[in-house]
A and B are shown apart, each in its own frame.
Chain A
Amino acid sequence: MVMSMNDMNIYTDIYDIVSENIQKAGGNFQTSRICYEKIASSNPVTVDISELAEIKDNSIFLETAYRILLQRNIDENARKSWENRLELPAPEFQKLVTRSIIRSAEFANTKIKVKNNIYSEKNSFGGNIDGIRKASSVTMPEKLMNMYRKMPAPMKKAAKKIMGVE
Chain B
Amino acid sequence: MKIYIDLSNLMAVDFLTGIQRVVKEIVIRMTESRKNELVLMTYFHITNVYRRIDNQKFYDFFAHGKGNRTSAVTTEKINPADIPSGAVFFDIDSVWNSRVKRSWLFPILKQNGVKIVTQLYDLIPITHPQFCHENTAMNFMVYTGANIKYADLIITSADATVKALNELTDRLGAERKKTVVVPLGSDFVHKDSNSETPDKKAAEIAENSKYILMVGTIEPRKNHSLVIDALENGLAEKGIKVIFAGRIGWNVEKLEKRIKSHPLFNKSLFFFEKPNDATVDMLYKNAFAVAFPTFNEGFGLPVIEAFQRGTPVIASDIGVLHEVAGDMAEYFDPTDKDDFIKCVSRLADDENAYRALKEKVKKFVPFTWNQSAQAMENAVMSVSENSKSVPENTNIKQIVCLTARNDDILATLPYIEKFMPFIKEIVLCTPDKNVSELKKLYKGRLDMKFLTDSEILNGNPLPDDHSTRNFFLRCLAMKNPVIDDVFIMTDDDYRPLRTIKQENFIKDGKYLAYYCYDLNEWQGTYGNPTSFDVCMKKSREFLSKNGYPTMMYSSHQPQVIDKRIFNEMTAEYPEIISQGLCEWCSYFNYGIRKYPDMFETVPYVSMGWPGTRSDWDIYVRPKEFLFENHYSVLYEKGRVFYGLSDELNDDTIEENQIKIMRYSEELNRQLTDREVYNAYCEGYLLQYREIPSFFINCGQDNSITINAPEYIVMKNSGWTRIPVKMKIQTKSEKILLMYWFSDENGNNISAVAKQEIDINKPEFILPVVTLPFKQQCVFNFRVMIEDKNTAADAVMIANVV
Binds A, one of B282-290, B655-663, B681-689: B681-689
Known: A14-B145, A21-B129. A122 touches B172 (CB 8 A): no
The residues of A that contact B690 with a CB separation of less than 8 Å are 102, 113-115, 117, 120
B276 within 8 A of A: no
Chain A to chain B: the 5 pairs with minimum beta-carbon distance, closest first: A131-B791, A25-B130, A165-B799, A115-B691, A126-B705
Instruction: State in angstroms the CA–CA spacing of A25 and B795 once bound together.
Output: 57
Instruction: State in angstroms the CA–CA spacing of A2 and B111 once bound together.
Output: 13
- Nearest chain B residue, comparing its CB with the CB of A148: B744
CB distance from B740 to the nearest CB of A (A): 8
| A125:B792 contact, CB within 8 angstroms | yes
The residues of A that contact B776 with a CB separation of less than 8 Å are 160, 165-166
| A135:B784 contact, CB within 8 angstroms | yes
CB distance from B714 to the nearest CB of A (A): 11
CB distance from A55 to the nearest CB of B (A): 14
The residues of B that contact A114 with a CB separation of less than 8 Å are 689-691
Interfacial residues, chain B to chain A (CB-CB below 8 A): 43, 45-48, 99-101, 103-104, 107-108, 111, 125-130, 134-135, 137-139, 141-142, 144-145, 148-149, 168, 171-172, 174, 520, 544, 683-685, 687-691, 693, 695, 697, 702-711, 713, 723, 725, 727, 738, 742, 744-748, 752, 776, 778, 780, 782, 784, 786, 789-799
The residues of A that contact B142 with a CB separation of less than 8 Å are 11, 36, 39-40
Of A10, A116, A163, the contact of B725 (CB 8 Å cutoff): A116
> 15 A-B Cβ contacts within 8 A?
A1-B104, A3-B107, A7-B149, A18-B137, A22-B137, A36-B142, A73-B135, A114-B689, A120-B707, A122-B688, A123-B706, A127-B703, A128-B702, A128-B792, A136-B752
Of B144, B145, B693, B789, the contact of A115 (CB 8 Å cutoff): B693
CB distance from A77 to the nearest CB of B (A): 18
The residues of B that contact A142 with a CB separation of less than 8 Å are 746
Of B43, B142, B747, B776, the most chain A CB neighbours within 10 A belong to B142
Of A31, A113, A125, A128, the contact of B685 (CB 8 Å cutoff): A113
A5 within 8 A of B: no
User: Which A residues from 21 to 47 make CB contacts under 8 A with B?
Assistant: 21-22, 25-27, 29-31, 36, 39-46
Instruction: State in angstroms the CA–CA spacing of A120 and B778 once bound together.
Output: 20
CB distance from B7 to the nearest CB of A (A): 17
- Nearest chain B residue, comparing its CB with the CB of A17: B171
Known: A25-B130, A27-B130, A145-B746. A39 touches B752 (CB 8 A): no
User: Which A residues from 97 to 134 make CB contacts under 8 A with B?
Assistant: 102, 107-108, 110-118, 120, 122-132, 134
Instruction: State in angstroms the CA–CA spacing of A31 and B103 once bound together.
Output: 18
The residues of B that contact A111 with a CB separation of less than 8 Å are 45-48
Of B47, B544, B703, B790, the most chain A CB neighbours within 10 A belong to B790
| B128:A21 contact, CB within 8 angstroms | yes
Instruction: State in angstroms the CA–CA spacing of A124 and B108 once bound together.
Output: 34
The residues of B that contact A7 with a CB separation of less than 8 Å are 103, 107, 149
CB distance from B520 to the nearest CB of A (A): 6
Of A1, A18, A108, A123, the contact of B796 (CB 8 Å cutoff): A123
Per the CB 8 Å criterion, the residue count for chain A at the interface is 74
The residues of B that contact A116 with a CB separation of less than 8 Å are 693, 695, 707, 725
Known: A118-B695, A139-B793, A160-B797. A15 touches B100 (CB 8 A): no
Known: A18-B126, A120-B688, A125-B794. A43 touches B104 (CB 8 A): yes
User: Which A residues from 140 to 166 make CB contacts under 8 A with B?
Assistant: 140-142, 144-145, 148-149, 160, 163-166
| A42:B746 contact, CB within 8 angstroms | no
CB distance from B272 to the nearest CB of A (A): 31
The residues of A that contact B791 with a CB separation of less than 8 Å are 128-132, 134-135
| B797:A165 contact, CB within 8 angstroms | yes
Of B129, B135, B691, B744, the contact of A113 (CB 8 Å cutoff): B691
Instruction: State in angstroms the CA–CA spacing of A1 and B103 once bound together.
Output: 11
| A163:B705 contact, CB within 8 angstroms | no
Instruction: State in angstroms the CA–CA spacing of A15 and B134 once bound together.
Output: 12
| B793:A129 contact, CB within 8 angstroms | yes
| A22:B129 contact, CB within 8 angstroms | yes
| A21:B793 contact, CB within 8 angstroms | no
| A165:B789 contact, CB within 8 angstroms | no
Given contacts A3-B103, A11-B145, A36-B142, 12 further A-B contacts (CB under 8 A): A7-B103, A7-B107, A11-B141, A15-B141, A21-B129, A27-B129, A113-B691, A123-B708, A123-B796, A125-B705, A128-B702, A163-B710
| A10:B148 contact, CB within 8 angstroms | yes
The residues of A that contact B709 with a CB separation of less than 8 Å are 122-123
CB distance from A21 to the nearest CB of B (A): 6
Instruction: State in angstroms the CA–CA spacing of A110 and B689 once bound together.
Output: 11
CB distance from B120 to the nearest CB of A (A): 14
Instruction: State in angstroms the CA–CA spacing of A115 and B799 once bound together.
Output: 21
The residues of B that contact A107 with a CB separation of less than 8 Å are 689
| A149:B745 contact, CB within 8 angstroms | yes
Instruction: State in angstroms the CA–CA spacing of A71 and B125 once bound together.
Output: 20
The residues of B that contact A44 with a CB separation of less than 8 Å are 43, 48, 99-101, 104
Instruction: State in angstroms the CA–CA spacing of A73 and B687 once bound together.
Output: 27
A13 within 8 A of B: yes
The residues of B that contact A25 with a CB separation of less than 8 Å are 128-130
A88 within 8 A of B: no
A4 within 8 A of B: yes
Known: A44-B101, A122-B709, A125-B708. A139 touches B780 (CB 8 A): yes
Known: A123-B794, A145-B746, A149-B744. A39 touches B691 (CB 8 A): no
CB distance from B754 to the nearest CB of A (A): 9
- Nearest chain B residue, comparing its CB with the CB of A115: B691
The residues of B that contact A120 with a CB separation of less than 8 Å are 688, 690, 707
Known: A44-B101, A132-B784. A138 touches B746 (CB 8 A): yes
| B794:A14 contact, CB within 8 angstroms | no
| A140:B705 contact, CB within 8 angstroms | no
Of B697, B705, B747, B794, the contact of A138 (CB 8 Å cutoff): B747
The residues of A that contact B691 with a CB separation of less than 8 Å are 46, 113-115
| B711:A164 contact, CB within 8 angstroms | yes
| B786:A132 contact, CB within 8 angstroms | yes
- Nearest chain A residue, comparing its CB with the CB of B754: A135
The residues of B that contact A124 with a CB separation of less than 8 Å are 705-708
Instruction: State in angstroms the CA–CA spacing of A41 and B104 once bound together.
Output: 7
| A145:B725 contact, CB within 8 angstroms | no
Of A7, A17, A111, A164, the most chain B CB neighbours within 10 A belong to A164
- Nearest chain B residue, comparing its CB with the CB of A21: B129
The residues of B that contact A140 with a CB separation of less than 8 Å are 742, 746, 778, 780, 793, 795
| B149:A10 contact, CB within 8 angstroms | yes
The residues of A that contact B792 with a CB separation of less than 8 Å are 125-129, 131
CB distance from B603 to the nearest CB of A (A): 19
| A29:B168 contact, CB within 8 angstroms | no
| B710:A164 contact, CB within 8 angstroms | yes
The residues of A that contact B684 with a CB separation of less than 8 Å are 164
| A118:B707 contact, CB within 8 angstroms | yes
Instruction: State in angstroms the CA–CA spacing of A44 and B108 once bound together.
Output: 13
Instruction: State in angstroms the CA–CA spacing of A16 and B794 once bound together.
Output: 44
Of A44, A134, A145, the most chain B CB neighbours within 10 A belong to A44
The residues of A that contact B107 with a CB separation of less than 8 Å are 1, 3, 7
CB distance from B124 to the nearest CB of A (A): 11
The residues of B that contact A149 with a CB separation of less than 8 Å are 744-745
| B172:A135 contact, CB within 8 angstroms | no
- Nearest chain A residue, comparing its CB with the CB of B99: A44
The residues of B that contact A141 with a CB separation of less than 8 Å are 793, 795
Of B125, B134, B742, the contact of A30 (CB 8 Å cutoff): B134
Of B111, B129, B687, B782, the contact of A139 (CB 8 Å cutoff): B782
| A10:B48 contact, CB within 8 angstroms | no
Instruction: State in angstroms the CA–CA spacing of A136 and B704 once bound together.
Output: 19
| A135:B174 contact, CB within 8 angstroms | no
| A31:B688 contact, CB within 8 angstroms | no
The residues of B that contact A130 with a CB separation of less than 8 Å are 789, 791
Instruction: State in angstroms the CA–CA spacing of A73 and B125 once bound together.
Output: 18
| B168:A17 contact, CB within 8 angstroms | yes
The residues of A that contact B689 with a CB separation of less than 8 Å are 102, 107-108, 113-114
